[in-house]
Amino acid sequence: MIDFHSHFLPGIDDGSDSISLSLTMLDAWCNQGIDTVCATPHFYAERNNPERFIRRREEAYNALREYMARYTPSNGGQWPDIRLGSEVHFFDGISRFEGLHELCLEGTNLLLLEMPFRTWTSRMIDEVSVIYSTTGLMPVAAHIERYLDQPRKLVKEFLDLDIFFQSNAEFFLESGTSRKAIKMLKKGVITFWGSDAHNMDRRPVNLGPALRVISKSLGEDFVGKLTNRQYDIIEQFSNDFF
């Protein structure tokens, strides 16, 4: 099982603020049967640059790895595989931004893209639509459920784009949205799921419970098949030729 979206690397963004919390979060993933976790710290182009971001991400990851080597998960199993990536906040000119490829999920051309929360314009959608043709990178739009109240026409245009969409676990877990989440998953709109975990209280590691809700509605077979598809997509967009 893959958690495609999380903020557990210590001290790099508004996610985990300590190695101990990062280890607790990793332990929760282990106990929930999640074996691959994508580390996707926030990237804001207006206050960061790819080089600095990658250096800080590497430092945070290396510090955490030392402790992962010293301890084992509480269930006696293995720590999840960690794939380094980022969550890039949309900005005007993103499709022409140099260094965007360095922010992709490592070894792939998949770019986790966070859309703005302000009201969308058709120009924004147009810019997302050309990211692939101009950069060769494939956007994965983060937590699509957060944008469903944007202007209807633009949401439709956005969902019609030939990109991938990710949803957060809470979309499946909250009673007011769960039915819609399952419907969007069943229709094939949502391809990736993630906890978007930042800590262990307000924004916890909760993909396991969400997968149980999905299994209950659509069957374990569905979860297994979509998981395989997620790994296939990561493989398909792999840029690791050697």
Which residues contact Fe ion (rule: CB under 5 A)? 87, 196
Which amino acid makes up residue 223?
V
Q: How far is the CB of 225 from Fe ion (least distance, A)?
A: 26
Q: Which is nearer to Fe ion, 145 or 179 (CB)?
A: 145
Q: Which is nearer to Fe ion, 87 or 106 (CB)?
A: 87
Q: Give the Cα separation of 124 and 110 in Å (integer).
A: 19
Which amino acid makes up residue 81?
D
Q: How far is the CB of 102 from Fe ion (least distance, A)?
A: 19
Q: Which is nearer to Fe ion, 71 or 117 (CB)?
A: 117
Nearest-CB residue for Fe ion: 196
Q: How far is the CB of 7 from Fe ion (least distance, A)?
A: 6
Q: DSSP assignment, residue 120?
A: P
CA nearest to 140, candidates 119, 180, 111: 111
Which amino acid makes up residue 205?
V
Q: How far is the CB of 139 from Fe ion (least distance, A)?
A: 15
Q: Which is nearer to Fe ion, 87 or 170 (CB)?
A: 87
Per residue in 63-78, is it b (16+ CB within 10 Å) or e — as a string?
ebeeebeeeebeeeee
- Is residue 177 within 8 A of residue 167, CB to CB? The reply is no
